[in-house]
Amino acid sequence: MAQSSLKTTVTNYLKNIQLWVKSHKGEFILLLLILVVASYMRLYRIADYMTFLGDEGRDVIIVKRFVTQGDIMLIGPGTSIGNMYLGPLYYYMMAPALFLAGYSPVGPAVMIALLGIATVFLVWFATRSWFGEIAGLVAAFLYAISPTVIIYSHSSWNPNIMPFFALLSVWAMWKVWHDKAYWWLALVGISVAAALQSHYLALLLVPVLGLFWLLTLYQSHQAKTLKRFLLYSVSGGVLFLLLMSPLAIFDVRHNYMNFNAIKAFFTDRQTTVSIKPWKALPGMWPQLTQITTRLMGGFDVTFGNWIALGVVTSAFLVLKKGSLRAWTMKQQSAALIIVWLVSGLLGLALYKQQIYDHYYGFLFPVPFILIAGILGNLSERYRFRGLWITIIVVTLLTWISLKASPLQYAPNKQYPRSADVAKFIVDKSGHENFNFAVIAERNYEGAYQYFLQDAPNFRVIDPQNTKDTIAPQLFVVCEMQLSKCDPTHNSKAEVANFGWSKIESTDEVDGVTVFKLVHSFPAATPSATPVPAKKK
């Protein structure tokens, strides 16, 4: 019965899409143009603009090992705080893209760009359903050109999938609550699991989804309706647990390491989080201004403050009249989005450490939707005046975003640089074994190591097996100013484990310095004869 209902729903959707395109040609053309702009912003010279540092290199090394050797992954990337790990879902998402790209790291970055384009479409679709045609186009366009959104839409990194799945989970819960389409609960379970495995701050979606799940439960008066609702709730829960199960299996095998780390994070609250919501209230406005500044204000604090004021005004204007039961669909939609925003701001304000842009990926669509919602409402209610206000505001926000667009700046070329430097090292090493290290402020070996790992004479030093892993030569890449590079005295393990050394040569390759180090006491060094490559 459920399969028949789903098939009927999908068929109806396809028919409605055909009818909609025929009757909304102008809107359809504008939507296509917005998607073209979004595609250009995310895919233009993606190999040069994409971030490819240690984390990205580590990820493709792990995923390539899975694709080529079947090395099953039970955990994903580690977090920056505590000994916590995310689930491996993002790694499994990377695998097809990496394989189809011939193991080029550009493949997963393109996957993220395509998901970013899909997020633009989802922003349009959800906003249009909630607030109308004009609002949908405005939200999608502004989201498509947002500098911060673009930056996190053309690089392969686990937090970059969070905006899509966060919006998808909220949209699916809307369908459950407003339309009583309970089978969408399955999508809620899937999307929450995906968002949670991209970053643990996706936990702040749980209060929002939980509240509207309880409201739906309260409204399910009839026994038959209640039974269906609970059945689909269980189905969504099972799908969620299934996607989270690899992480649980890992924990069971490793003495609940992840669970204990998460427990410590929440119990040791002096430096992590506060459990007193009232203390977070003063921090909500600064969090909102930071979000609007980074997403819509072109990194200008003044613009960000005004946009934040516009977001708050939008919320009050939409909800100022009537009770919950008397609210229009637009007011009910706004209530859902505002609860989403308030929950996120409260959670971020409770967090005691620095907030980075990717931390609020679960809130990325919110300010665009609220601003577009009020502009769409003005255009519909006041027609000529409202439309002109919308045009002026959108033009201003477009100018703000475009002048801060990352495409205006020269690409970082981290990916081609990593490949070029790795090739240089392999060529310079000759046929002798070599070790490798990186000295940098915000990078480590992963990116270069991805290209070095297939070299038969590359060795990673194992402190437990120095005889077979310490090579006659060590290549050190320094990404800092030459005056700050002192590879023979650096305390980093990859350098220190090599032992006493001296610089044999210094080269500049693609803007970084490559040192070749050899042992100070050659008689004490391992043989220069290459050790047969070990199977990995």
pLDDT, averaged in runs of 10, over the chain (536 residues):
64 79 88 97 96 94 94 86 84 96 96 97 95 94 97 94 97 93 94 94 93 89 83 94 93 84 68 65 88 93 92 75 60 88 89 83 94 88 86 95 94 95 94 92 92 92 86 94 88 90 92 93 52 40
Torsion angles phi and psi, residue 286, rounded to 5: -60, -35
- 326 Cβ neighbours under 8 A, 6+ residues apart: none
Rounded to whole angstroms, the Cα distance separating 436 from 418 reads 13
Residue 520 per-residue DSSP state? S
Rounded to whole angstroms, the Cα distance separating 472 from 479 reads 23
* CA 410 vs CA 45, 48, 269, 414: distances in Å: 11, 9, 42, 12
Tokens describing residue 178: 């407003």
Element (H, E) at 125: helix 106-131
Q: For the packed helices 25-43 and 2-23, what is the interaxial angle rounded to 10 degrees?
A: 100
* CA 368 vs CA 126, 254, 326, 374: distances in Å: 12, 43, 26, 10
What pLDDT sits at residue 335? 86
What pLDDT sits at residue 320? 64
Rounded to whole angstroms, the Cα distance separating 8 from 5 reads 5
- 230 Cβ neighbours under 8 A, 6+ residues apart: none
Confidence (pTM): 0.90
What pLDDT sits at residue 532? 45
What per-residue string of b and e applies to 446-470 under the rule 16 or more CB within 10 Å gives b?
A: bbbbbbbeebebbbebeeeeeeebb
Tokens describing residue 219: 């409204």
Residue 88 per-residue DSSP state? S
Residue-range domain boundaries for the chain: 2-408, 414-524
What pLDDT sits at residue 530? 47
What pLDDT sits at residue 4? 62
* CA 93 vs CA 19, 66, 155, 203, 490: distances in Å: 33, 12, 14, 21, 38
Cβ atoms of residues 138 and 376 within 8 Å:
yes
Rounded to whole angstroms, the Cα distance separating 262 from 248 reads 13
> First CA to last CA across the chain, in angstroms?
49
Residues paired with 20 in a beta bridge? none
DSSP line for 415-470? HHHHHHHHHHHHHHHTTS-EEEEEE-SS--THHHHHHHTT-TTB----TT-HHHH-
What pLDDT sits at residue 8? 74
What pLDDT sits at residue 535? 38
What pLDDT sits at residue 146? 97
